[in-house]
Amino acid sequence: MIIKEVSLDIVCGITSKLPDTGRPEVAFAGKSNVGKSSLINGLMNRKSLARTSAQPGKTQTINFYNVNGCIYLVDLPGYGYAKVSQEEKQKWGKMIERYLHTSKNIKAVFLLVDIRHDPSENDKMMYDWILHNGYEPIIIATKLDKIKRSQWQKHVKMIKEGLKLRPGTKVIPFSAQTKQGREEIWELIDELTGFGPADTEEA
Protein backbone atom coordinates (compact mmCIF):
# COMPACT_ATOMS: atom_id res chain seq x y z
CA MET A 1 0.00 0.00 0.00
CA ILE A 2 1.41 3.34 -1.03
CA ILE A 3 -0.09 5.92 1.31
CA LYS A 4 -1.97 8.72 -0.40
CA GLU A 5 -4.53 9.83 2.18
CA VAL A 6 -5.24 8.93 5.82
CA SER A 7 -7.75 10.16 8.38
CA LEU A 8 -9.22 9.22 11.74
CA ASP A 9 -12.77 8.50 10.57
CA ILE A 10 -14.58 6.81 13.46
CA VAL A 11 -14.10 6.75 17.24
CA CYS A 12 -16.17 4.25 19.26
CA GLY A 13 -16.54 4.42 23.02
CA ILE A 14 -17.87 1.80 25.40
CA THR A 15 -21.52 2.51 24.57
CA SER A 16 -21.05 3.32 20.86
CA LYS A 17 -22.59 1.20 18.14
CA LEU A 18 -19.80 -0.39 16.13
CA PRO A 19 -19.84 0.65 12.48
CA ASP A 20 -20.11 -1.57 9.43
CA THR A 21 -17.44 0.21 7.39
CA GLY A 22 -17.94 -1.95 4.32
CA ARG A 23 -14.17 -2.01 3.85
CA PRO A 24 -11.46 -4.47 4.92
CA GLU A 25 -10.30 -3.88 8.50
CA VAL A 26 -6.97 -4.76 10.09
CA ALA A 27 -6.99 -4.63 13.90
CA PHE A 28 -4.09 -3.90 16.27
CA ALA A 29 -4.13 -5.14 19.88
CA GLY A 30 -1.46 -4.78 22.53
CA LYS A 31 -0.84 -3.84 26.12
CA SER A 32 -0.58 -0.22 27.15
CA ASN A 33 2.75 1.41 26.30
CA VAL A 34 3.80 -1.33 23.83
CA GLY A 35 4.08 1.25 21.04
CA LYS A 36 0.76 0.73 19.25
CA SER A 37 0.22 4.40 18.36
CA SER A 38 3.83 4.70 17.19
CA LEU A 39 3.38 1.65 14.98
CA ILE A 40 0.16 2.97 13.43
CA ASN A 41 1.73 6.39 12.83
CA GLY A 42 4.73 4.65 11.26
CA LEU A 43 2.55 2.57 8.96
CA MET A 44 0.63 5.66 7.85
CA ASN A 45 3.74 7.84 7.43
CA ARG A 46 2.32 10.35 9.90
CA LYS A 47 3.93 11.69 13.05
CA SER A 48 0.93 12.13 15.31
CA LEU A 49 -2.35 11.03 13.73
CA ALA A 50 -2.58 8.20 16.27
CA ARG A 51 -2.07 9.99 19.56
CA THR A 52 0.73 8.66 21.69
CA SER A 53 0.38 9.27 25.41
CA ALA A 54 2.82 9.61 28.27
CA GLN A 55 0.09 8.03 30.38
CA PRO A 56 -0.44 4.37 29.48
CA GLY A 57 -4.05 3.25 29.55
CA LYS A 58 -5.40 6.50 28.12
CA THR A 59 -6.79 4.91 24.94
CA GLN A 60 -10.34 4.04 25.93
CA THR A 61 -11.84 3.95 22.46
CA ILE A 62 -11.68 1.90 19.29
CA ASN A 63 -10.23 4.16 16.60
CA PHE A 64 -10.77 3.54 12.88
CA TYR A 65 -8.12 5.04 10.58
CA ASN A 66 -9.14 5.27 6.92
CA VAL A 67 -6.22 4.61 4.54
CA ASN A 68 -6.66 5.71 0.91
CA GLY A 69 -10.41 5.20 1.20
CA CYS A 70 -9.65 1.48 0.78
CA ILE A 71 -9.06 -0.08 4.20
CA TYR A 72 -9.25 0.69 7.90
CA LEU A 73 -6.50 0.26 10.47
CA VAL A 74 -8.34 -0.32 13.74
CA ASP A 75 -6.63 0.64 17.01
CA LEU A 76 -8.05 -1.36 19.93
CA PRO A 77 -7.78 -0.17 23.56
CA GLY A 78 -4.53 -1.02 25.31
CA TYR A 79 -4.77 -3.64 28.04
CA GLY A 80 -2.94 -4.60 31.21
CA TYR A 81 -2.28 -1.16 32.69
CA ALA A 82 -1.96 -1.69 36.44
CA LYS A 83 -3.32 1.68 37.59
CA VAL A 84 -6.67 1.23 35.85
CA SER A 85 -9.49 -0.22 37.94
CA GLN A 86 -10.64 -3.79 37.38
CA GLU A 87 -14.02 -2.43 36.28
CA GLU A 88 -12.37 -0.30 33.58
CA LYS A 89 -10.29 -3.26 32.39
CA GLN A 90 -13.43 -5.36 32.07
CA LYS A 91 -15.16 -2.62 30.05
CA TRP A 92 -12.21 -2.41 27.65
CA GLY A 93 -12.14 -6.21 27.37
CA LYS A 94 -15.83 -6.22 26.48
CA MET A 95 -15.24 -3.53 23.84
CA ILE A 96 -12.50 -5.58 22.19
CA GLU A 97 -14.57 -8.76 22.41
CA ARG A 98 -17.62 -7.02 20.91
CA TYR A 99 -15.52 -5.76 18.02
CA LEU A 100 -13.95 -9.18 17.31
CA HIS A 101 -17.38 -10.84 17.51
CA THR A 102 -19.44 -8.37 15.49
CA SER A 103 -17.27 -6.82 12.78
CA LYS A 104 -17.91 -8.42 9.41
CA ASN A 105 -14.84 -6.83 7.86
CA ILE A 106 -11.83 -8.03 9.92
CA LYS A 107 -9.13 -9.48 7.66
CA ALA A 108 -6.35 -9.76 10.25
CA VAL A 109 -5.54 -9.15 13.91
CA PHE A 110 -2.02 -8.04 14.82
CA LEU A 111 -0.87 -8.52 18.42
CA LEU A 112 1.96 -6.25 19.58
CA VAL A 113 4.44 -7.42 22.20
CA ASP A 114 7.60 -5.75 23.50
CA ILE A 115 10.61 -7.60 22.03
CA ARG A 116 12.75 -6.75 25.06
CA HIS A 117 10.80 -8.83 27.56
CA ASP A 118 9.21 -12.22 28.03
CA PRO A 119 5.51 -12.00 27.11
CA SER A 120 3.42 -10.99 30.12
CA GLU A 121 0.45 -12.93 31.46
CA ASN A 122 -1.76 -10.32 29.79
CA ASP A 123 -0.01 -10.93 26.46
CA LYS A 124 -0.55 -14.68 26.79
CA MET A 125 -4.21 -14.20 27.68
CA MET A 126 -4.75 -11.85 24.72
CA TYR A 127 -3.07 -14.26 22.28
CA ASP A 128 -5.23 -17.16 23.50
CA TRP A 129 -8.31 -14.95 23.47
CA ILE A 130 -7.76 -13.83 19.87
CA LEU A 131 -7.37 -17.51 18.87
CA HIS A 132 -10.56 -18.31 20.80
CA ASN A 133 -12.39 -15.63 18.80
CA GLY A 134 -11.45 -17.40 15.57
CA TYR A 135 -8.45 -15.35 14.39
CA GLU A 136 -4.81 -16.33 13.87
CA PRO A 137 -2.96 -13.30 15.26
CA ILE A 138 0.18 -12.02 13.56
CA ILE A 139 2.77 -10.96 16.16
CA ILE A 140 4.58 -7.63 15.89
CA ALA A 141 7.60 -7.45 18.21
CA THR A 142 7.98 -3.72 18.92
CA LYS A 143 10.91 -1.61 20.17
CA LEU A 144 13.43 -3.50 18.05
CA ASP A 145 15.90 -0.60 18.18
CA LYS A 146 16.15 -1.01 21.97
CA ILE A 147 18.12 -4.27 21.71
CA LYS A 148 21.35 -5.19 19.91
CA ARG A 149 21.10 -6.78 16.48
CA SER A 150 22.94 -9.84 17.82
CA GLN A 151 20.05 -10.36 20.29
CA TRP A 152 17.19 -10.22 17.77
CA GLN A 153 16.84 -13.93 17.08
CA LYS A 154 17.12 -14.85 20.75
CA HIS A 155 14.33 -12.43 21.68
CA VAL A 156 12.06 -13.56 18.82
CA LYS A 157 12.51 -17.14 20.05
CA MET A 158 11.63 -15.94 23.58
CA ILE A 159 8.34 -14.51 22.28
CA LYS A 160 7.50 -17.65 20.31
CA GLU A 161 8.09 -19.86 23.32
CA GLY A 162 6.49 -17.48 25.83
CA LEU A 163 3.24 -17.21 23.88
CA LYS A 164 3.34 -20.88 22.81
CA LEU A 165 2.72 -19.73 19.25
CA ARG A 166 1.08 -22.10 16.83
CA PRO A 167 3.48 -23.41 14.16
CA GLY A 168 3.70 -21.03 11.21
CA THR A 169 2.63 -17.93 13.18
CA LYS A 170 4.42 -14.88 11.79
CA VAL A 171 6.53 -12.74 14.10
CA ILE A 172 7.61 -9.40 12.62
CA PRO A 173 10.23 -7.37 14.55
CA PHE A 174 9.45 -3.64 14.25
CA SER A 175 11.13 -0.37 15.16
CA ALA A 176 9.20 2.90 15.18
CA GLN A 177 12.57 4.70 15.06
CA THR A 178 14.11 3.01 12.01
CA LYS A 179 10.82 1.76 10.44
CA GLN A 180 12.35 -1.71 10.17
CA GLY A 181 9.51 -4.17 9.63
CA ARG A 182 7.16 -1.57 8.11
CA GLU A 183 7.37 -2.91 4.56
CA GLU A 184 6.87 -6.49 5.70
CA ILE A 185 3.75 -5.51 7.67
CA TRP A 186 2.32 -3.64 4.67
CA GLU A 187 3.03 -6.57 2.34
CA LEU A 188 1.00 -8.78 4.67
CA ILE A 189 -1.82 -6.22 4.92
CA ASP A 190 -1.89 -5.87 1.12
CA GLU A 191 -2.04 -9.62 0.73
CA LEU A 192 -4.77 -10.07 3.36
CA THR A 193 -6.98 -7.20 2.16
CA GLY A 194 -6.47 -7.63 -1.56
CA PHE A 195 -4.92 -4.19 -2.09
CA GLY A 196 -1.45 -3.85 -3.55
CA PRO A 197 1.09 -1.08 -4.08
CA ALA A 198 -0.10 -0.53 -7.64
CA ASP A 199 -3.58 0.53 -6.46
CA THR A 200 -2.54 4.07 -5.57
CA GLU A 201 0.32 6.48 -6.05
CA GLU A 202 1.94 8.22 -3.11
CA ALA A 203 0.96 11.85 -2.73
Q: What integer pLDDT is reported at residue 52 of this predicted model?
A: 56
Residue 53 CB neighbours (<10 A): 12
Q: What is the mean pLDDT of the chain?
A: 88
How many angstroms separate the Cα of 195 from the Cα of each of 15, 70, 101, 175? 32, 8, 24, 24
pTM assigned to the model: 0.89
Tell me which of 72 and 86 has the higher pLDDT: 72
C-beta separation of 193 from 200 below 8 A: no
C-beta separation of 128 from 162 below 8 A: no
Dist. CA 122–CA 125, nearest whole Å: 5
Work out the pLDDT band at 58, boundaries 50, 70, 90: low
Q: What integer pLDDT is reported at residue 46 of this predicted model?
A: 87
SS3 label, residue 113: strand
Would the pLDDT of 55 be above 60?
no
